[in-house]
Structure 1
Amino acid sequence: MPNRTIGLSLRTKTLIYLMAIVTPIFVFSWYASVVSGNETKKQVGSALLQLAKQTHTTLDRDILGISENTIKMIQEPLVQSMAKEMAGTPFELVRQYVALGELMNKYGVSDSFYSGLKYSLLIPVNDPSRYKFAPSYQQLANGVFFVDPKTSPWYKTVFDLKGKGNLQVLDHFGAQGAGKSLTFLRVVKDFATDLKTDIGIIAVTDLQTVLSNDMKAIELPESSEIYFTDRDNRILASKTNKQMGEKVRIPGEWLKQEESNSVVTLDQKTYLLAYHRSYPYDTKLIILTPVSIITSQATQTHRLIVFITAFYVFLILLTVSLFIRTFLRPLRKLGALVRSFVPGKELVLAHPPGRKRDEIGELTLSFFRMTRRLNEMIHERYVMEIKQKETELSMLQQQINPHLLYNTLESIYWHGIALGQKDVAEMVKDLSKLMRIGLSRGRDVISIGEEIEHAEAYLRLQQRRDKTAFRVEWEIDEACLQAQIPKITLQPLLENAIQHGVAKMEEEGRIVIRIRRMDEADIEITVSDNGYKPVDSNRLNAIAGEESPNEGYGIRNVQKRLKLHFGDRYGLFYESNPGGGVTARITIPDQERSGETGGEHHA
């Protein structure tokens, strides 16, 4: 660890050490929360499984009591005599029908423990139309009904059980429009034929009322669901709004055992499943409880742990903050001060050095004194170099600027006008403008707009003097007109373009001057001609670089003044044009925009 942090700042190291302290705390908090949640789910799961067993036992006991009532009913002589009465006269059949109806009502009313149940006797016949005196089971809630086994799909299932009780969800058993009913069904065997003949089926309907009342008494966690289902997971009774006969969607692998409690995911929600299976009637009891409800207490405990942890971390952060403020921050400021120091520029401090008398304050004061002494030495050398360059610029300017008398030129201009020599007068006027801009009232740099006026006057003079018809095209970015440039920069380049390029080409000669901004800080100026002579741009660049000191005075003069004003980054460069001629390319800084010369000196 120490070897890996050698190149890191003190602040970064402090944060790393802080993370090393805080991370185990959060990991412990998370681990405690997970363990607490798992233990809670385990304990609650065991409790729910025991509750499922007890509830299932209670429901089985209710069904067993109803089953015993059906056995008693089957043993009733009135029920057993029904097989014989079916072959008797219609009068005897009706009398038997009425007596059996009263017996059914008696069982339903006298059974106070299972109040609300309705008992019926279903007798199979091939032609129910013979018994029109008897309503169907879709018309009455209970009684004696003659049914066609072919129209009752559940009938065969019950008979196949050979006297064993069975639970079925029947539709429309009772008055017209009645809904589904959980029904206990048992075949009635004829004792006179040694149980070889079937008399009918006893049906106990509305069993869901009794079972639902038992389930309502169960106290479950909030949002829990409890279902009493058959072997195919069809709901027989529940405490939810789901309909009887609807299937509970539980993955099959969780319901293969006799009992279990586990965590399952249904519809993107996690539940704790408590499941118990009973074999007398092959039923299941399923309890589903949201895990979020179970772990709510553990979540509250976890939040308390998180709060305590956060408070502890806050104390650590407060301590680290004080450490950074009193030690690391002054060191960081001193480092920023060292990085911001530029030789020759005065350091700007928010507070005077030496205000703090500790070791860091003394170190800052010593650094400030050192930079001040260094700046004094740099300033002295800078002043000497400025004076030397000013002398050199003055000598170069005197070599290129002719000294003419403005008043004499003005007089010649008006004299030419008076004599009707307008061309001569205009030439004198352009020459006067050329001389005035060249001198520029003693300034070494002028705006690009002024330099363009100087170049235009020069071009007009050349065209009138030699009667040449070459074309001149200007492509000027007006945003560059206020930028500064050494005066008489374009004239030597235009002179070379005329003399060595388009002088003898008449109307075919073409000179293009382009001025544009390259980026946010630089401006590019190009003077391009389409001269017919082949041009060696490498030789021209060598002359501009003073590798040939005996030729190209104008080029060398322009190049040297550009670099003296703006530095070695800027200057003049030549390149040959593919179709003939040459392009002189000048780059200068946009002084108006940047506010600085970009070089070593600016006169």
Structure 2
Amino acid sequence: MLIKRLNDMPLRDKLMVSYFIILALALSIFGAFAFERASAVIKQQVQASTQQTVIQAKNNLQSYMRDVENVLMKIHVDSTVQNVLGKPQPNNGFQLNRDIKNLESAILGADIFRKKTSSIQLFAFNKADYPSINLGDSIFSSNDVEQEDWFRRTVEMGGKIYWYINGRQICSARLIIDVSDPRRVLGVVNASVDITQFLGGVDRIRIGKTGKVFLVNDDRIIAGTESELTRMLSNEPGFFSTIYENKQGSVFKGLNKNEYLIIYDELIGPKLKVVGTVPTSELVENIGIIRNALFLIAAISLIIAFLSSIFISYKISAPIYALADRMKSFDSDQYTKVPVYSNDEIGEIYNSFNKMLERIQQLIDEVNEQSRREKEAEMKALQAQINPHFLYNTLDSINWLAIKAGADDISLMVNSLANFLRFSLNKGREFISIANELEQVRSYIIIQKFRFKNKFDVIYHIHEEVLSYTIIKLTLQPLVENAINHGFDGIEYKGLIEIKAYKDEKYIHLQVNDNGKGADIDSLNKMLLEGGGESMNEMGYGIRNVNERLKLYFGEGCGLYFEDSQYGGITANIKVRAVLFGRMEEG
């Protein structure tokens, strides 16, 4: 029903509706695409910016960690620490207390200026009389901590720094190795940093309005100051599973009915990571502005498009309505032209209409003329059928007179000529069997031998299987004529023509070889492709015609080409598709 109503609509309304719909669709598609691309670009930019923030935070934390590691290294190589820990434990209390005081001074001096650590503890090996962990300040015997996990892991690290988190402290520990005997372990030094101090600069970083950068360790969020965001994330198992999927990454994740941008990277090992998280809604506030702007532009464009469609449809349809009114009064017996008022496309339609009227009258005249010519052609066709019969009968009469007079040579020539003409005409058909084509060439050669008084010989190498296949009439004769008239012209020895025919899997191959004076093979082949211009003689036209007919009827890949003959002259090669005679359709 709707389609019928559309079909019945006036042209003016169709143009207006079509124009409006096309513009509306174009604006909708463009607006949706522009909004989608703008949203994607903003998200990518925000993601990249947030990722840089997290990377900078990580770099800051790693810089702090290197400072702490430098403090541990300074203690490790300190000469006082090496001397005190490297010698046996003294027997008197005075010397023991003096050694402990010296170690405390060395530890204090290692971080006295920068204050990167909250506390530093040294655990000496083989110093049973050193204070226990519960009684001392910073120098202890290792006996009380040897079973603790951090201590065992530090020993297993073999001199490398071991980082771990203990409550609100981030700690690092390393072995103190005798610099004069690397196989001898003297103790362990442990430095602790308060989390608030460690995250001091990072904790002040804000991503969006509520986003934060913090640490995550073993499904636990570690932040300098707790916030609503960190409390919410602590209760979301999906948050922790996301950041532990890869070493580092960036992902938009739905948590607690909101989407969050989560960017994470390893800080120390696979468990301790730096994480930046922010609600996506805070990062893409500009997208709403872009969406509203696009809606406003689309609405204004649609109003303009509607008004434009009314105006344009009227300007286009008004002349067409006028032409339609004139065509309604068109009388087939009267061809009245319409006046032209413009030079635009409508004016061209008016001109075309007037030319159509003129053409109709011209076609009527041409049909009458064509009818007359067809009748004349029929008469000429009848005459063409009569003339060959008259010619054959005349040649047959001459042949009997020659036989009666004992002129066998004349009889042979007349019979050869009759055969040649019969195969040339071929009842008006273009195709002929190879057997008949060879018979026609033999007749032609007999006549030419009389003319040139046996100045050349002809040999045939014909495979019998090819005789029943198809060729175009008058294919071989122009090549033989070319060899006689041009190849043997001016030679002082007896000419030789060899005619060969054989078949391969798909094609029939025919060759005409001669021992004449030869020619420029490249020029001959070029003549077949491009023609010889005004200088090409009648024979050249004949040979080129053979090639073009072969390509026309047998297709590309078939045709004629020349090459040097083994006898010293020219070899003309013909290649055609192998089609049995009678199965090839002409035209």
Structure with greater contact order relative to length (CA < 8 Å, sep ≥ 6): 2
Q: Could you tell me the TM-score, scaled by structure 2's length?
A: 0.42
Q: Could you tell me the TM-score, scaled by structure 1's length?
A: 0.41
